[in-house]
Structure 1
Amino acid sequence: MKLKLTAGCAVLTGLISGAAFAETTFTANSFYAAEHPHSKYGYVEWAEMVQDLSDGDLVPEVYTGTVLLAPRANLQGIRDNVVQVAHHAAVYTPSEMPVANTVQELGFNYSDPLTMIFASTDFSMNNEAQLQEWQDTGVVYLGSYATPPYILFCREPVRTLDEFKGKRIRTAGSSVSQWVEQAGGIPVNVPSSEMYTGLERGTLDCASNAANDLIDRSLWEVAEHTTLLSTGMYWTGPQWGYNPGFWSDLTTEQRKILMQATAQAMSHMIVEYLGAAESSLEEAKAKGNNVYEPGDDLKASADDYRANSVDTAYTTAAETYGLDNGKEIIDDFIATYEKWEDLLADVDRNDPDALAQIAIDEIYGKIDAATYGVQ
């Protein structure tokens, strides 16, 4: 789907000055369906913000779904300038993004997407090892995504370890895959776009993803049983990753506009995403689906794995991703997350404008748009 839209948008303080430019049209891609929060708020409505903030001078042409690029092809599409900006999930390219995937190894530890989306952005735009990785892989990182905690959607009830054992479970990333194996399941690493067909055909017994996909991707039709067991959350890789040549050719003021739009869209996206996850569970139940709490033994298995996940991440950083500074990277990420827990402690978590202003004050306002990502 391709969309080219305009709409009103409030300007928050501290970033852009309102200069005008010749119109710049560029291609933006999100492989999620148009109604998924990462596409709807992160690209379709973001495009409206960009056009309005730039007085129509920056014009994103948005594609959603897989019509332009398959999920695993977005990084190459950014590098080849097929698209000028796209969402890319780093778990699809672990060998090319070892730093990003190393911090994702902590995914089992966290359950607060709102804190994570800002902490991940802050880390990804300031940590030297991560910045070098973006440069080496040919992408300019401008902002994060974060999912609600992934839960289990299954073809039959999976509430206990006995019911879990032997099940083929769609996972994303090595951390949750390690736990699935430890608990007796079989991890299957396929893109989220293939969950429906896998469940429908029986090549998957369960899929692990955010609750909104029960409705957004109609998983309620093929997975009637949901277990509210958190299997971690995902944030690694850019929600907005730019082609370096395109980014460098923009003016400083245009880059500031895109930073402003990112702060606003990112804040709106996460607030709406969390609301969609909650309402989707209720809608699925209304359609006749079953929703279970996990049994004590299944929950204990996940808790036991979580208790050792930081040490496991240290080991994985070295042995799987070949990083000799993995511990320093992981510790910096943990410290950044704790910083954002403090920053958001007294903020209205349902106010996107307040959240966007903090993002500008604490992240984008401290980035030099004249030099950031410029080749």
Structure 2
Amino acid sequence: MKISTLMAALAVSLTGTVASAAQYNANHFFAERHSMVRGPYVEFAKNVAEDTNGEVTFKVFSAGSLLPPASSLGGLRDGIAQVSYHAGTYTPAELPVANLIGNMAFYNTDPLVMAFASTEFGLTHPAALAEWKKNGIVFGGGYSTSEYHMQCNTKVETLADVQGKKLRMPGGAWSRFAEHIGALPVSIPSSEMYSGLDVGVLDCAVAAADALDSFSLKDVVTSMNTLAVGNYYAGFEWAYNADFWKSISPENRKVLFDQMAYYLAEHRIEFDADVEKAVSAAKEKGMVVYEPDQALQDALAEFVKKDEATLIATAEERGVENPAAILADFKQTIDRWDALLDGIDRQNVDALAELARTEIYDKLDPATYGTD
């Protein structure tokens, strides 16, 4: 028996069968206190249970306690979890389309725009939908981290300062950017950023600045550079096991749509608030914040123009048909959301959630979406 099958059997034995228990597993590899878990998973699960009259009840497993990061896609497909978060760069071969658009992280670094745009694209674009189906999952909604910054244990202000430095990168375009500016990309999971900085394996961790608190980086970081090194949205915040999705009623799918629309907005507000608090606390501990010099800004702009050809070539190598057209479609979706969100109150979760419902989720048919 395969390990994945054994684990699935164990998960069912712990929660009961789908038919008899109506309790399902929700998986996230961030800690429960993280903004992408405490609202979009913990509160989400409570609201879903209430709004479905207990017909859909999720038990939330956080901090990788059910599935480690690299296994979340396979574990979701195999039914170990019925809903899960997944960081797409862990599975480039399985999710080449998701990684193609996820590596466009420098085109627009507005996290709210990218969270909404990646959600609409994942729910509606034929290439994305075909990829989810091939992997045995049903896409529910996207996300975006706040902007990534270099958080370092040494002074990093200028392009010259960065050259030769060891930068933790999430892979893909970020690693290529490190090489472009003469730095050394190091691919390690976020859970190892602290130890890497502490022992000198890393000079900088490139991540959203809430990591100063959520991963305790403020204890080992002495400087932060405000250069916007993209933001991360590859994969999904919610996707569902295909058999589970088909087993629940259209009415309960509609509940999930409504809750995802709300927490798509809520988590963006909370994520940015966490960043602000974390940076403030780190500055109180002595962290110095540097603006990038012009040479570093120019190097980033040069990279953005240059890297699109690499994105397209990489996607073609992974079997994606016409990746240039897919990128063009995604850019249109990004630009649409840039316009839709212009002037909206970004602290009003209800207004943002209503926009997500009317412009994305209400256009889906809960009776048919994800069921073919």
* TM-score strictly above 0.5: yes
* Post-superposition offset of 1:312: 4.0
Contact 1:22–1:57, Cα closer than 8 Å, also in 2: no
For 1:309 and 1:271, the matched residues in 2 are separated by 30
2:175 aligns to what? 177
Say if 2:349 is the partner of 1:352.
yes
Equivalent residues in 2 for 1:145-184, closer than 5 Å: 145-184=143-182
Deviations 1:197-254 (A, max 9, x none): 2212222221100011101110011222211111101112110111111111111111
For 2:166 and 2:73, the matched residues in 1 are separated by 28
1:207 counterpart SS class: strand
2:42 aligns to what? 44
2:64 counterpart SS class: coil
For 2:135 and 2:56, the matched residues in 1 are separated by 25
Equivalent residues in 2 for 1:293-304, closer than 5 Å: 293-304=291-302
Residue 371 of structure 2 aligns to which amino acid in structure 1?
A: V
Residue 42 of structure 2 aligns to which amino acid in structure 1?
A: V
2:109 aligns to what? 111
Q: Which has the higher helix share?
A: 2
2:114 counterpart SS class: helix
* Post-superposition offset of 1:314: 2.9
- Residue 319 of structure 2: which of 309, 322, 329 is its match? 322
* Post-superposition offset of 1:282: 1.2
1:88 aligns to what? 86
Counterparts in 2 of 1:253 and 1:22: CA distance versus 1, 3 Å = farther
1:285 aligns to what? 283
Say if 2:271 is the partner of 1:306.
no
1:184 counterpart SS class: coil
Equivalent residues in 2 for 1:56-205, closer than 5 Å: 56-205=54-203
Equivalent residues in 2 for 1:210-225, closer than 5 Å: 210-225=208-223
Deviations 1:128-186 (A, max 9, x none): 01100001112111001101110001111112222212211111131111111011111
Contact 2:30–2:64, Cα closer than 8 Å, also in 1: yes
1:242 aligns to what? 240
1:178 counterpart SS class: helix
Question: For structure 1, which runs of at least 5 residues remain unmatched after alignment?
Answer: 1-20
* Post-superposition offset of 1:42: 1.5
1:4 aligns to what? none
Q: State the TM-score, normalized to the length of structure 2.
A: 0.91
* Post-superposition offset of 1:313: 2.9
* Post-superposition offset of 1:23: 7.0
Name the structure, 1 or 2, with higher relative contact order (CA <8 Å, separation 6+).
Answer: 1
Contact 2:102–2:235, Cα closer than 8 Å, also in 1: no
For 1:318 and 1:243, the matched residues in 2 are separated by 28
1:370 aligns to what? 367
2:334 counterpart SS class: helix
Residue 242 of structure 1 aligns to which amino acid in structure 2?
A: Y
Contact 2:103–2:234, Cα closer than 8 Å, also in 1: no
Moved over 4 A (4+): none
Deviations 1:294-334 (A, max 9, x none): 22222221122123344443333324x33231011100000
Q: State the TM-score, normalized to the length of structure 1.
A: 0.90
Question: For structure 2, which runs of at least 5 residues remain unmatched after alignment?
Answer: 1-18
Deviations 1:93-144 (A, max 9, x none): 1111100111112102221111111111111111101100001112111001
1:12 aligns to what? none
